[in-house]
Amino acid sequence: MKQSLPLTLALAACAAPPPPAPPAVAGYAAAHAGGALIVTRDAAPFTYSDGAEARRAADRLCGGKVASSTEDNFRDGAWIYPRGCA
């Protein structure tokens, strides 16, 4: 019985469900590139002055909180969070 326990645990790990996908947030899209989170808006593209809205969307897209830093930047209608989700 004790000999079969490690095999049973190993097989159980193979059948474990995948981690949950980040929540969908209506009106926004997220892309991941090299660990960064890139947030875009479905309607009019973000502007530089939409940083607070983009941050709120990023928090929701992460399912909690984005790993915001001084490296966050805006480019081509998207807000980029290089550290991804916290």
Q: Would you say residue 50 lies in a domain?
A: yes
Q: Would you say residue 1 lies in a domain?
A: no
Q: Which of 86, 57, 54, 60 is nearest to 73 (CA)?
A: 54
Q: Would you say residue 64 lies in a domain?
A: yes
Q: Would you say residue 5 lies in a domain?
A: no
Q: How far apart are CA 61 and CA 41, in angstroms?
A: 12
Count of helix runs (H) and strand runs (E) in the chain: 2, 4
Q: Per residue in 43-53, pLDDT tens?
A: 999 999 999 99
Q: Would you say residue 13 lies in a domain?
A: no
Q: How many domains does the chain have?
A: 1
Q: What are phi and psi of 3, to 5 degrees?
A: -70, -30
Q: Would you say residue 81 lies in a domain?
A: yes
Q: Would you say residue 33 lies in a domain?
A: yes
Q: Per residue in 13-72, pLDDT tens?
A: 555 565 555 567 899 999 999 999 999 999 999 999 999 999 999 999 999 899 999 999
Cα Rg for the chain, rounded, in angstroms? Answer: 18
Domain of residue 62, residue span = 24-86
